[in-house]
Structure 1
Amino acid sequence: MSSEETADRMDPVGVRPGEVPDPQVAEKAVRRTFTAKYKLAVVEEYERADHGERGAILRRENLYSSLLTEWRRQRDRGALAGLSVPRGPKPAAGPTESGLAAENARLTAELEQARDVIRIQGELSALLEKLSSSSVENRGSRR
């Protein structure tokens, strides 16, 4: 890595190299997160290094070898796609335009069907009322 990248890099507690860290402990521990680009850069640098230099890379980056082993597996499984997947619960998928259009079409068809049912029920009710009144008239005329 170049000297510019090293100067811009901070260690896990947010201190630039050469600065004196604040001795106070943070109220809440913060889990470090690494970008896919960073993971690939460190893995590639680690693999290019001689066996004796690998420990220095791990100390400089404040990493464990097991973490690099996991990153290497992730890289081999799917390169950046496997490395860039955030951990934790997946966010709920929002509605897409095509999904909304399909739902709108489904609901419109359902509404049309409900309107047909209501119209038929009204006609049936009118028919039953007509039959009922004609049957009452027929009974009255027979007596």
Structure 2
Amino acid sequence: MTTSTTPTARLIVTAAERQRILEEYDSYPRGDARRGALLRRYGLYTSQMSKWRERLKRGDATLAALTPGPKGAPRNPLADEVARLTRENARLQQQLTNAETIIAIQKK
């Protein structure tokens, strides 16, 4: 038995190959060992077949690789502190209003 120290490269599958693999996968009956052999040959998972099938059902006929969208703006590190202080300020304002009401009632 030999062990390899080099990492294996991810298989890049084009849209046409995805279509062909999915058609071949679906041509075998459920539970057939050839389905598993096909997935192992390409290093795929059954969940990927499901996702590709769902994309075809939704109308994405090309099965092109999805590209990530733009990243959101980085979060301000002080935003959590500002939110906490705003909540605390509102709570203290309410306590002050309650205390002033009690004092006003006691003066009468």
What is the TM-score normalised by the length of structure 1? 0.38
Greater relative contact order, per chain length (Cα 8 Å cut-off, separation 6+): 2
Higher CA-based Rg:
1
